[in-house]
A and B are shown apart, each in its own frame.
Chain A
Amino acid sequence: GENVEQHPSTLSVQEGDSAVIKCTYSDSASNYFPWYKQELGKGPQLIIDIRSNVGEKKDQRIAVTLNKTAKHFSLHITETQPEDSAVYFCAASIETGANNLFFGTGTRLTVIP
């Protein structure tokens, strides 16, 4: 089955700096890669996703890049703000039918004011 690894497990940045979180996956058939943000005591919220037919996607301060050959994808957050502090999870799946998401182990991001 799919195995998703995520690094780093914790990340602290100064407000205004950029944050980068990296994930690798093992199943070359995976073609859908969402990123979720989870705040304490809440469920994960989708912040951005990318499919394997594109290499990069941006949404304001958030961007995701995908390297299918190397089987890795990354989340980039620019101009970080204290409210970006949360746990971020990457995931991978084969986007067909009821195939489930395989999650990374999470990154606890702390933005220091």
Chain B
Amino acid sequence: GAVVSQHPSWVICKSGTSVKIECRSLDFQATTMFWYRQFPKQSLMLMATSNEGSKATYEQGVEKDKFLINHASLTLSTLTVTSAHPEDSSFYICSARGRQGVDTFGSGTRLTVV
């Protein structure tokens, strides 16, 4: 079945530094990838949609300069949280959409900014 690898699974960083999260579709090509943020005991909040080779489309209220998304290939998208602050601490999840239109999720990245 479709597998999406997300790394790292957890990261602790100092306030003001940047963190990069990778999302890879291992056995299929992803026409579109999505990035979500999830707060404890809440649903998934869509941050942005990215298509390979084009700029990401950000949801209202999501700062594109803070959450940099690069979808360099059909199997890799990255999310960089720039100048991280404690309020950026959260669970970040990516998903990749295959040609059959099904979204497969990564295992998530727990970011803690201290």
Residues of A in contact with B (beta carbons under 8 Å apart): 32, 34, 36, 41-46, 49, 89, 95, 97-98, 100-101, 103-106, 108
Contact = CB atoms under 8 A, between A and B. Distances in A.
Contact of B93 (A44, A46, A97): A44
A59 B51 CA distance: 32
B51 to A, nearest CB: 6
A34 B100 CA distance: 13
B43 A103 contact: yes
Nearest to B51: A98
A75 B105 CA distance: 20
Q: Which of A34, A103, A105 has the most CB of B within 10 A?
A: A103
A34 B103 CA distance: 9
At the interface, is chain B mostly helix, strand, loop or mixed? strand
Nearest to B44: A103
Interface residues of B, number: 25
Interface of B: 4, 6, 31-32, 34, 41-44, 46, 49, 51, 57, 93, 95, 97, 101-108, 110
B31 A43 contact: no
A45 B104 CA distance: 7
Contacts of A103: 43-44
Given A34-B102, A43-B107, A44-B93, A98 B44 contact: no
A101 B41 CA distance: 19
Given A98-B31, A100-B34, A106-B43, A44 B105 contact: yes
Nearest to A4: B43
Q: Which of B6, B103, B106, B107 has the most CB of A within 10 A?
A: B103
Q: Which of A42, A98, A101, A106 has the most CB of B within 10 A?
A: A98
A44 B31 contact: no
Contacts of B105: 36, 43-46
